[in-house]
Chains A and B, each alone.
Chain A
Amino acid sequence: MSSTDRLVSDYLDRLESELSGIPRAGRREVMDGIEAHVEEAVAELEPEDEAGVRNVLDRVGDPAEIAAEARERFGVRQPRTTWREIGALILLPFGGFLVPVIGWFAGVVLLWVSDAWNTRDKVIGTLVLRAGLPPLLPALIPGE
């Protein structure tokens, strides 16, 4: 990956994480639009050097500012912790101990309906936070 590609992909990653509180459809549309915009603006550069790319990204704007605008346009409050996030954080690691499997699964559901995390974080949360699950698996195996 060239240094200019790296600048663009870092920028888009930052934008995606700033937009994590926005409803999925809107977030996708904003991301796709800005990604295509940056691509086209960079393609126009002559020559396509680092200073030019930085200039393009400056004109597109600070990801935090774009996310603030998106929150206002979509009527979304600054991402804040609600019962969903608290529930997910308690149930994912410990839910399996409270109610075998179902407790953990409820945590997964809460994790995925929350707007506080992006998809990558949710996948990681689902795969990694299974602490309550493995010890209970033997109990599910018939005949034990």
Chain B
Amino acid sequence: MWPPLLYLAGAGTFYRMVARQDALLAQMRRGVLQYCVLALLSEGERYGFDLVRSLGDVDGMVTSEGTIYPLLSRLRRDGLVTSRWLESTQGPPRRYYQVTDAGRAALDSFASEWHRFRDAVDYFTERSAA
């Protein structure tokens, strides 16, 4: 094949791979986000804005802040968190979210699986890097 064309074909494959990897990482982040929310809430109740800011403080966890709200609503519907309205010193009342016993149980079982999984991935990826 004509070299520039070969180069373009190679670049195309590379960009497709990067795009696939981005999609995979986005899916993984989405999947674990709920456990990060449960973990934060197990330290104490928080309202939406506060929770979103705490998640956003850690790099790589949240891409757009608004997407946390559908998640909170879903977790509440599934009984993993509950909420209550509390008066605020500035502005209107705020909806505070707390983790439930079911939420704590879900978090615990996820956390132990996650550590196993993380160690396994580390084992293989670090071995190849060494």
- Beta-carbon contact of A37 and B69 below 8 Å: yes
Task: Decide yes or no: A29 and B73 within 8 Å by CB, A37-B49, A41-B49 being known contacts.
Answer: yes
- Beta-carbon contact of B70 and A30 below 8 Å: yes
Interface stretch among A67-75, A78-86, A87-95, A107-115? A67-75
Q: Given the complex of chains A and B, what is the CA–CA distance between A65 and B66 in angstroms?
A: 9
- Beta-carbon contact of A66 and B74 below 8 Å: no
- Beta-carbon contact of A30 and B49 below 8 Å: no
Main secondary structure of the interface of A (DSSP, over half): helix
Interface flag for B10 (CB, 8 Å): no
Q: Given the complex of chains A and B, what is the CA–CA distance between A141 and B72 in angstroms?
A: 53
- Beta-carbon contact of B77 and A26 below 8 Å: yes
**CB of B68, distance to nearest CB on chain A (Å):** 8
**CB of B96, distance to nearest CB on chain A (Å):** 12
Interface size class of B (residues with CB under 8 A): 20 to 34
Q: Which residue of A26, A39, A66, A73 contacts B64 across the interface (Cβ within 8 Å)?
A: A66
Chain A: interface residue total (CB-CB under 8 A): 27
Nearest CB in chain A to that of B71: its residue: A73
- Beta-carbon contact of A69 and B67 below 8 Å: yes
- Beta-carbon contact of A33 and B67 below 8 Å: no
Interface flag for A123 (CB, 8 Å): no
Interface flag for B95 (CB, 8 Å): yes
Q: Which residue of A25, A33, A39, A70 contacts B91 across the interface (Cβ within 8 Å)?
A: A39
**CB of B105, distance to nearest CB on chain A (Å):** 20
In chain A, positions 31-49 with a C-beta closer than 8 Å to chain B are: 32-34, 36-37, 39-41, 43
Q: List 28 A-B contacts (CB under 8 A).
A: A25-B73, A25-B77, A26-B70, A26-B77, A30-B70, A33-B72, A33-B73, A33-B95, A34-B69, A36-B48, A36-B92, A36-B94, A36-B95, A37-B48, A37-B49, A37-B52, A37-B69, A41-B49, A60-B65, A61-B65, A61-B66, A65-B64, A65-B66, A66-B64, A70-B70, A73-B70, A73-B71, A74-B73
Show the binding face of A for B, using Cβ within 8 Å: 15, 22, 25-26, 29-30, 32-34, 36-37, 39-41, 43, 59-63, 65-66, 69-70, 72-74
Query: Lowest 7 A-B CB distances belong to which pairs?
Result: A61-B64, A70-B70, A33-B69, A73-B74, A60-B66, A61-B66, A66-B66
